[in-house]
Structure formats: structure tokens, C-alpha cells
């Protein structure tokens, strides 16, 4: 097919060039009026453009599954990004060189926008500088905005956000209750990640991407606006055009709302195309899940690919099944090619089945990237394009695809940022630092002011400044304040816990860690008034097989010892006995997938947004996971 597209584009280019020259010759040989001249000029311009496009595409690697329409749509999309890329980079560079000035400009424009709203008249009056802002506007959390945002969703005017709200987002809800958030998207912010992906990865403008997507629940506000996860793809004409031209999966598959079936179908269509350029999922855990499905269901996938028909046992709505079956063509040659690669094993399988894959585009929040690089995606680059959240879609951009840890240059022209030094983040109204006052090597809780209506909002991320680009901070995200373990005000973050786990693993022979999370013991007794109980942490761990599931008490105690060694306050509480030894709970393989399903079924979280919480915060989730513990301590549990 690659040769076919190359031949077709060459033929197209030659025919277009011939017709263009013919039109010019006709014009030269006869006298014409100004109207004829205009018409001739139009046809010559179109013919010249058509010729250039055709010859250019003929030089590029092209996805095998393109139609002429999707080919031209994807080509046009990337040319658009390439055209505006230099302007976007120039704007960002200017802001990076003078971040304080960019922040002042951003704040001034935002206050001017919202000044006459109910919120603006109450909280923004008289603010003319960054210092005024820090002095006069309080630090906030979500409950400060909850009523304003609900009224905005109900259709009230002039409440808090004096610009068009495209729709409402729902935060993931995996570390707490999901939040209703107005989505206002910056025009330049839409393109920033695409501009740098094209520059860093060198993606061909006619190679498609592989996606893994599961449709989340959604609803509409009283005013008719969509309420859904940020990653939700609506059934709009633009969405159908983009998914059809950029993705290898037909749009009907984007309506599948069950995790396994969505993963399977997206994976199947991705396998049809040898020339995939990017493998895209929101989180690295989904990448791992997809390749695990590929390994586990390889025979079923190959059979479907050979026959051009989805397995009848898949739980799909009939209209979706008919649509995807119509789009899937029998390809026994590709199935044989894949079968030979599968027979060689699955280490480095990504680069073998997609030899022109530029990168895996995802974010790693749970350590799955290391597992992938040792197994399925060995030898393939990873790229985490941006630092974003539902509250602000343009916080930072990653300028590196060279294997270094995920890090981001902040975007001072897209969001205003303040920083609370980590040691003071437990306070209600701590002093903040501005973007040019932070120091390399220090950690800070981030405070944002964004175009979506948040002012001095404590979003809960703790970041470390690891350097500067131009004069702007480069940060790494370390943990969320909502996931701190905190029985006696010791505040243990997930990095400390993970380090203790990794140290313990060295003395837990024969096991491979799949996933972990923690919980505080009071959750076990939340419904038992007047009962005295020990205070301790529970570490739930899942290994990759049924073998070696049992650890000795001495082996389990290594986790507590490592935690004490790494955290002075925790060690002090352990010495005086106000916190008891941490307990390691081993759960059956597959338990964390069941926990994911349980959490999504009982919260606003979706499969595309889900991040495995490193701290369980409800009794229901603790009780659910306890059902899968295979080796519980001999205690009063």
C-alpha cells in the first residue's frame, strides 16, 4: 500500500502539473480579457498547489489505511500546525525570557475579563498588580467556587467567567470527589503540544496514530452544555473528521464504554497499519494494559484480522459491531507478519510490529514507564507532552524527548502560578513565591490562576524545580497533597513510600511488583464507634503471578524498617509507640484492575482519566481490596 500511495501521488502530481502547464499554454497563445486572466490565474494557482502537495506526499511515509480524504485531512492538519508553529514558539520564548512580565500581563487581562462579574466585583476589585493580588485575594480550594460553577452550569449569566465556556469538565475523582469545572481553552494552548511533538519526534504528516480510548459517562447541564471528562470525545463533525484522519480506529469504536472491549478494538485496528507513528494513551498504565491484552489475546486478534470480522463473543452494541466490521478489512498477510513477530516473544514488540513508531505519547504517574521499557516497549521513546489538569489545560510543556524524566517548562503566558514552599504547605494561608522567586532543588505546592475561573487555587500538586529554560522554571511533578499519609501529622509522601517498597523488593525474591496503594487503619473502623484500635499504615501490593505470594513476617517487616529509615517523624512516632508497625497486604493478581472497575463504577472517574490512587480514602475501597488479600496478619483485623 505504501508503494501504491507513492505511485498514486506521483501520478496525481504529474497529471496536475500537465494540466497546469496546459492552461498556461492556452492563455499565452490567445488574447484574453481580465476575467479570463483571473480565472486562468486561479486555476494555475490551484494546479501548482495540487502538484506540490502530490509530489510532497509521494516522498513521505504514509499509513496503509488512509483513504484519499483522510490522507488530505491529516496532511492539512499537520501543515496548519507547521504554519503556525513558529509564531507559537516565538510567543512562548518571549514569555520564557521575561516570565514575571508575562504573568503580570496574563493577570491584568484575566481580571479585566472578569471584573464585572459577581465574582469579580466581590474579589477582584482594586487589584492592579501581582502584589495587590497576593494581598487582597485569598488562597482558595474548590469549595470556594462550587456554588459559582454550579450556577454557571445552570445557565446564569455574569456569575464568574465572562467568556464562552465550551463545556464542563469533571476531575478524575480518584483521590476525592469529582469536581465540576468550566472549560475555557486557549487558542494557542490547543496547538502547543502538537507543535512540539512534530518538532521533537519528526512525525510524518500522513502517518496515523494508534489510540486507546474508552468512552466515559457524560451528561448535560440545565443550559445544555456537555459535562464529561476532559478526554471525552463528543459526537461532533470535527471529532469525526479528526479521529478519522489522525487515528487508525473508525469513529464508532470511540463510542465503546467498556474497558476490555474498547482496548481490544482500538488495538485491533492499530495492528492493521504497519506505519503507525505514535501510540497515544492518557496514562502509561493504559499502555501496559493494552500490550498485556495484545499478549494474552494474540490468537483472537490475529483471527479477527485475518477474517476482517470482530470476534462475536465481544460485548459490543450491535450498531457499533456492524460499523466496526464494515471498517475492518480481511488482511491475512498482515496477520501472518504479526504472528511471526509474536513468536519471537513480546520484549520490544512495539518497535517490531510498528517499525516506524516515533514514540509512545503518554503520562506516567504510577511507575509503569519503567516496566514498559523493560518489556513491551523496549527501545521505543516515551514522550509526556504537557503538564495539565482539568482546572488548567496549559500549565507546562515538555521540550525534551531524550529519555530524561518527565519535566516541563511552565507556561507563564497561559496561566499564573504561585508557589508555596513544601515545608509550609500544611498551613491555611501561607506566603507564596512568584515564578521568578523559586530555586532549583526546592519543592513547592502549586497555586494557579487560570482562564477557567480559578484565582489563587491550591490545586494540590507538589513540584520540584529542576532547572530553568531561558528564565522560566522547569519542574517535575512529585506528588499530590491529597495522597499524603498522615496519621499523626508526619505527612509521608508517595515518593518515600515508593522508595521503601523498592528497597524491600530487593529482599522479596522471585516477585515482580504490579501495583501498590496504601491506606490508614482508622478507615477499617470508621463505622465502629467507641472501639479502641491501633494506628498503622496498610500497604496493599499485587505481584504478577500466583507463585511466591506469601512473604514471611520478617520479610514484610522490611517495609516498615525502610519507611522508618527514610522518614524521621515516622520513626519518632514508631519509637514512642503512637504508630504501630506498617502492615503489608498481598492481594491476588488482577485485584487492582478490579479496584479500578469498582472505583469507576462508584465515582466520577473514567477509564481515560483513571490514576491508581496511592492512598485509599474511603472505607468502601479499603473493604473492597481487603476481599482479595491472600495473607493477612494474625491480628484483630
Q: At a CB cut-off of 8 Å and minimum separation 6, what does 540 contact?
A: 516, 517, 518, 519, 585, 587, 591, 616, 625, 629
CB count, 10 Å around CB of 519?
25
pLDDT above 70: percentage of residues in the chain: 95
CA–CA dist 463, 422 (Å, integer): 9
Q: Which three cell numbers stand for residue 526?
A: 470508621
Flag the least confident range among 107-121, 352-366, 431-445. Answer: 352-366
Residue 578 in this model has a pLDDT that exceeds 50: yes
Residue 626 in this model has a pLDDT that exceeds 90: yes
User: What is the mean pLDDT of the segment spanning 66-75?
Assistant: 88
Residue 383 in this model has a pLDDT that exceeds 90: yes
Burial zone of 98 (CB within 10 Å; 0-12 exposed, 13-18 middle, 19+ buried): middle
The per-residue pLDDT for 290 is 94
Q: Which ranges constitute the DSSP H helices of 98-153?
A: 99-114, 118-123, 130-136, 146-153
User: What is the mean pLDDT of the segment spanning 25-46?
Assistant: 73
> pLDDT band for position 172 (50/70/90)?
low
The per-residue pLDDT for 344 is 96
- Tens digits of residue pLDDT in 414-444: 999 999 999 998 888 999 999 999 999 999 9
The per-residue pLDDT for 1 is 46
pTM for this prediction = 0.86
CA–CA dist 506, 510 (Å, integer): 10
CA–CA dist 125, 133 (Å, integer): 10
The single residue listed with the C-alpha cell 497563445 is 29
Q: At a CB cut-off of 8 Å and minimum separation 6, what does 172 contact?
A: 178, 229, 390, 604, 605, 606, 609, 610, 611
Between 606 and 156, residue with greater pLDDT: 156
pLDDT above 90: percentage of residues in the chain: 58
User: What is the mean pLDDT of the segment spanning 543-549?
Assistant: 79
Residue 293 in this model has a pLDDT that exceeds 90: yes
Kindly give the pairing relationship between strand 278-283 and strand 209-211. parallel
The per-residue pLDDT for 27 is 67
The per-residue pLDDT for 518 is 94
Query: Smallest Cα–Cα separation from 390: which of 448, 474, 464?
Result: 448
The per-residue pLDDT for 31 is 58
Residue 636 in this model has a pLDDT that exceeds 50: no
CA–CA dist 636, 621 (Å, integer): 20
- Tens digits of residue pLDDT in 197-222: 888 888 889 999 999 999 888 889 99
Return mean pLDDT, the chain: 89
Residue 534 in this model has a pLDDT that exceeds 90: no
CA–CA dist 138, 141 (Å, integer): 10
CB count, 10 Å around CB of 586?
22
Query: Smallest Cα–Cα separation from 392: which of 378, 375, 410, 366?
Result: 410
Between 33 and 422, residue with greater pLDDT: 422
Residues in the chain, total:
637
Query: Smallest Cα–Cα separation from 360: which of 375, 376, 380, 343?
Result: 380
Residue 490 in this model has a pLDDT that exceeds 90: no
DSSP 181-250: EEE---TTHHHHHHHHHHHHH---TT--EEE---PPP-EE-TTS-EEE-TT---S-HHHHHHHHHHBSS-
CA–CA dist 63, 208 (Å, integer): 6
Residue 59 in this model has a pLDDT that exceeds 80: yes
Residue 363 in this model has a pLDDT that exceeds 50: yes
CA–CA dist 541, 547 (Å, integer): 14
The per-residue pLDDT for 384 is 92
Radius of gyration, CA atoms only, the chain:
28
The per-residue pLDDT for 30 is 64
The per-residue pLDDT for 29 is 62
DSSP 494-514: HHHHHHHHHHHHTTSTT--EE
Residue 226 in this model has a pLDDT that exceeds 80: yes
The per-residue pLDDT for 23 is 78
- Tens digits of residue pLDDT in 550-569: 888 999 999 999 999 999 88
Q: At 226, phi and psi to the nearest 5?
A: -70, 140
User: What is the mean pLDDT of the segment spanning 580-604?
Assistant: 90
- Tens digits of residue pLDDT in 242-292: 787 889 899 999 999 998 999 999 999 999 999 999 999 988 889 999 999
Amino acid at each position: 500500500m505504501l508503494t501504491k500511495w507513492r505511485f498514486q501521488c506521483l501520478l496525481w502530481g504529474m497529471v496536475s502539473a500537465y494540466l497546469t502547464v496546459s492552461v498556461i499554454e492556452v492563455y499565452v497563445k490567445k488574447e484574453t480579457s481580465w476575467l479570463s486572466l483571473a480565472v486562468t490565474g486561479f486555476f494555475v494557482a490551484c494546479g501548482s498547489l495540487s502538484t506540490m502537495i502530490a509530489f510532497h506526499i509521494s516522498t513521505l511515509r504514509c499509513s496503509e489505511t488512509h483513504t484519499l480524504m483522510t490522507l488530505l485531512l491529516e496532511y492539512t492538519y499537520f501543515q496548519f500546525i507547521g504554519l503556525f508553529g513558529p509564531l507559537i514558539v516565538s510567543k512562548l520564548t518571549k514569555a520564557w525570557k521575561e516570565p514575571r512580565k508575562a504573568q503580570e500581563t496574563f493577570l491584568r487581562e484575566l481580571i479585566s475579563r472578569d471584573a464585572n462579574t459577581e465574582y469579580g466585583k466581590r474579589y477582584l476589585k482594586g487589584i492592579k498588580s501581582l502584589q495587590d493580588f497576593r494581598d487582597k485575594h485569598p488562597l482558595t480550594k474548590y469549595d470556594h467556587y462550587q456554588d459559582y460553577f454550579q450556577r454557571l452550569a445552570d445557565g446564569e449569566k455574569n456569575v464568574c467567567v465572562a467568556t464562552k465556556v465550551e463545556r464542563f469538565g469533571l476531575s478524575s475523582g480518584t483521590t476525592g470527589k469529582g469536581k465540576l469545572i468550566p472549560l475555557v481553552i486557549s487558542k494557542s494552548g490547543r496547538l502547543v503540544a502538537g507543535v512540539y511533538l512534530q518538532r521533537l519526534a519528526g512525525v510524518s504528516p500522513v502517518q496515523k496514530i494508534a489510540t486507546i480510548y474508552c468512552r466515559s459517562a457524560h451528561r448535560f447541564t440545565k443550559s445544555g452544555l456537555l459535562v464529561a471528562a476532559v478526554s471525552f470525545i463528543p459526537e461532533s463533525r470535527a471529532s469525526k473528521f479528526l479521529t478519522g484522519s489522525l487515528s487508525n480506529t473508525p469513529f464508532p469504536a470511540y463510542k465503546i464504554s467498556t474497558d476490555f472491549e474498547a482496548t481490544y478494538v482500538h488495538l485491533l485496528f492499530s495492528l492493521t497499519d504497519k506505519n503507525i507513528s505514535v501510540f497515544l494513551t492518557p496514562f502509561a498504565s493504559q499502555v501496559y494494559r493494552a500490550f498485556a491484552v495484545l499478549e494474552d489475546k494474540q490468537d483472537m486478534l490475529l483471527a479477527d484480522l485475518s477474517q476482517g470480522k470482530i470476534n462475536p463473543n465481544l460485548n459490543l452494541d450491535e450498531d457499533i459491531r456492524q460499523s466496526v466490521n464494515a471498517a475492518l478489512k480481511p488482511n491475512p498477510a498482515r496477520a501472518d507478519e504479526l504472528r511471526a513477530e509474536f513468536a519471537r516473544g513480546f520484549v520490544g514488540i512495539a518497535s517490531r510490529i510498528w517499525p516506524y513508531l516515533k514514540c509512545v505519547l503518554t503520562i506516567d504517574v504510577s511507575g509503569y514507564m519503567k516496566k514498559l521499557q523493560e518489556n513491551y516497549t523496549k527501545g521505543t521513546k516515551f514522550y509526556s507532552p504537557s503538564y495539565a489538569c482539568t482546572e488548567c489545560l496549559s500549565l507546562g510543556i515538555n521540550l525534551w524527548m531524550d529519555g530524561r524524566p518527565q519535566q516541563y517548562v511552565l507556561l507563564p503566558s497561559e496561566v499564573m502560578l504561585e508557589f508555596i514552599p513544601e515545608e509550609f504547605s500544611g498551613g491555611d494561608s501561607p506566603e507564596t513565591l512568584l515564578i521568578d522567586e523559586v530555586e532549583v532543588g526546592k519543592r513547592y505546592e502549586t497555586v494557579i490562576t487560570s482562564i477557567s475561573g480559578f484565582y489563587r487555587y491550591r490545586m494540590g500538586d507538589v513540584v520540584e524545580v529542576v532547572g530553568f529554560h531561558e528564565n522560566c522554571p522547569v519542574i517535575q511533578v512529585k506528588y499530590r497533597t491529597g495522597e499524603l499519609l498522615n496519621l499523626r501529622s508526619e505527612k509521608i509522601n508517595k515518593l518515600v513510600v515508593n522508595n521503601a517498597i523498592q528497597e524491600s523488593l530487593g529482599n522479596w525474591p522471585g516477585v515482580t511488583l504490579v501495583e501498590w496503594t496504601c491506606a490508614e487503619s482508622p478507615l477499617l473502623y470508621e463505622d465502629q464507634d467507641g472501639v479502641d484500635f491501633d494506628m498503622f499504615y496498610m500497604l496493599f501490593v499485587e505481584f504478577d503471578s500466583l507463585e511466591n505470594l506469601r512473604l514471611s513476617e520478617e520479610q514484610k517487616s522490611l517495609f516498615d524498617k525502610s519507611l522508618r529509615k527514610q522518614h524521621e517523624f515516622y520513626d519518632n512516632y514508631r519509637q514512642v509507640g503512637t504508630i504501630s508497625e506498617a502492615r503489608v497486604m498481598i492481594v491476588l493478581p488482577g485485584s487492582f484492575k478490579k479496584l479500578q472497575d469498582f472505583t469507576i463504577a462508584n465515582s466520577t472517574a473514567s477509564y481515560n482519566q483513571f490514576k491508581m490512587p496511592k492512598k485509599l480514602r474511603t472505607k468502601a475501597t479499603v473493604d473492597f481490596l481487603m476481599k482479595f488479600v491472600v495473607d493477612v496478619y494474625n491480628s484483630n483485623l
